[in-house]
Amino acid sequence: MTPGQTSLFEDSVKEEENSTDPNVSTEPAVEEYVVRRRKKKRGGRQANLDALPQVDKVYELKGKKRFCDACGEELKIIGKHLAHRKIKCKPMEFYCENFYVQVVKSERSKCYFWAASSAKEFNQHNIAYFFYAASRGDEVIPRIIGPDYRGCLMCDGHSAYQQERLPNGTLEACLIHIARKFKEIVKIGKGAKILQHSKAAEAATKLGEIFHTEHDLSYTTREEKAAKRRLRLKPLLDEFYRFIGEIKHPIGKLRVAINYALNQKERVYQIFEHGELPLDNNHDEQLIRPTTIGRKNYLFAKTEAGAEANATWYTFIQTAKLNQLKVREYLEHLLSSFTWTESPVWEAYLPWDPEIQRKFGTQ
């Protein structure tokens, strides 16, 4: 055996010596493994379906579904929409069946409710009326109250309210709408002294004095109310228009507010001739509030016939409320009283009828 070499016997003896050494650990080595879960790829099901032979099945519109509920014209087919997909099996082969439904185009995508109501004072009956129309144009106004209407109409500055459409009527402007434009300017600068003491804030304050003075008036007839308005309110309104007329070179929202007030001036001054006119149309806006809240829940009417039905029922319900009726009991009475075989006496079912008031009144 040459120097520097060891025998197999010496190697085995050294291994045994090492195995009995108390400083040497005899525990087996533990290997650590990191398990990474793979994220499931999106679109796998779609890819599997696309890989199969395709069979398209189109459900066609038939019968009444091919015609518009409102005008009766045949609808135009503009395409098809994939409704769902289903895997089916035939001998030795799978295939994917695609289910489509035809998509039709409606001529009217946005329509409107119009609302009108009797004034709170000096009226014969308390009435709320809702009208469905596909437009916000001035042609709708005569359809609601008639082209020969000779009374007064409180309205905002919407361009549809044209004197030409109601040549015999009197249009009056809402002071709240005028004041709101000045208040919005002050609201923008809430906390900023420069806006709280601005021309807009002063204009809003002057209009507020008119409302406070109106609240303190006492009268018994419309003529007496108009006379007291001329005595106490007219100087305040004159001062408001003098003030905004002297503002030099207004810009931005202030200019918009001033121009709006000046454009409505002639209509605003009608309150001094017609005592039955209110200063604002808040009464009517409160009546339409349920429609604006409700549409957030049901979003829209499916058909024009459904929108017309909504307007009819809003008219019944809001008019019943104005006449202090128990709405649910009153509507149940109406629905149970009418049949196709009888001609009802309509006047006996009106909300202000004495018998209706006796049965369903809340007071």
**Could you tell me the pTM of the whole model?**
0.64
Taking only the tens place, the pLDDT of each residue in 273-282 is 999 989 988 8
**Ranges 3-7, 128-132, 236-240, 255-259: which has the least confidence:** 3-7
Angle at Cα 152 formed by Cα 150 and Cα 153, nearest 5°? 120
Position 31 scores a pLDDT of 57
Q: Which residue has the higher pLDDT, 321 or 20?
A: 321
Taking only the tens place, the pLDDT of each residue in 314-327 is 999 999 999 999 99
Nearest to 130 by CA among 115, 110, 117: 115
Position 147 scores a pLDDT of 86
Position 307 scores a pLDDT of 83
Over 70: is that where the pLDDT of 93 sits? Answer: no
User: Mean per-residue pLDDT for 87-100?
Assistant: 58
* 356 vs 349: CA distance, rounded Å: 7
Q: Which residue has the higher pLDDT, 65 or 264?
A: 264
Task: Name the E strands within 75-223.
Answer: 77-90, 93-104, 112-117, 128-133, 152-155, 170-173
Which token pair is 85?
């997909």
* 283 vs 117: CA distance, rounded Å: 8
* 294 vs 302: CA distance, rounded Å: 15
User: Mean per-residue pLDDT for 286-314?
Assistant: 78
Side-chain half-sphere of 76: how many Cα atoms within 13 Å? 4
- Three state DSSP letters for 33-69: CCCCCCCCCCCHHHHHHHHCCEEEEEECCCHHHHECC
Nearest to 286 by CA among 262, 318, 320, 253: 318
Question: Which residue type occupies 273?
Answer: E
102 pLDDT band, cuts 50/70/90, is: very low
Angle at Cα 208 formed by Cα 206 and Cα 210, nearest 5°? 80
Over 50: is that where the pLDDT of 103 sits? Answer: no
- Angle in degrees, 0-180, between the axes of helices 234-245 and 222-232, rounded to the nearest 10: 50
What pairs with residue 130 in β-bridges? 115
Position 302 scores a pLDDT of 72
What pairs with residue 55 in β-bridges? 97
Annotated domain spans of the chain: 45-104, 109-174+281-320, 186-270, 323-363
CATH fit for domain 109-174+281-320, picks 3.30.70, 2.40.10, 3.30.420, 2.40.128: 3.30.420
13 pLDDT band, cuts 50/70/90, is: very low
Q: Count H helices, E strands: the chain?
A: 14, 7
Position 281 scores a pLDDT of 85
Taking only the tens place, the pLDDT of each residue in 174-223 is 999 999 999 988 876 555 555 656 899 999 999 999 999 999 999 999 99
User: Mean per-residue pLDDT for 92-102?
Assistant: 50
